[in-house]
Amino acid sequence: MITRILDLCEEKGMNINQLGTKAGLNPATIRSIVKKRCVSPKADTIYYICLGFGISMKEFFDTDLFNDIIDDD
């Protein structure tokens, strides 16, 4: 999730403070995710981050970063 947030910040040309403002979140909340102080952010936090990026949650998670295949064999 950290990599995805940082990649999207770079792609969208914004920093954590700008993302926080656009998402309606305190930038400290996003920094706590990026710095691994918050390892399980709530779904609504991710939703607001997506709003800040101007993307859907589907778009956020639709990347190879989240497509790890678990082999049950």
Q: What is the pTM of this model?
A: 0.87
Task: Tell which CATH architecture fits domain 2-65.
Answer: Orthogonal Bundle (1.10)
**Domain range annotation of the chain:** 2-65
pLDDT tens, the chain, 73 aa long: 999 999 999 999 999 999 999 999 999 999 999 999 998 999 999 999 999 999 999 999 998 888 765 555 4
Q: What is the 3-state secondary structure (H, E, C) of the chain?
A: CHHHHHHHHHHHCCCHHHHHHHHCCCHHHHHHHHCCCCCCCCHHHHHHHHHHHCCCHHHHHCCHHHCCCCCCC
> 50, 60 in Cβ contact below 8 A?
yes
**CA 69 → CA 4, 12, 40, 64, distances in Å?**
18, 28, 21, 10
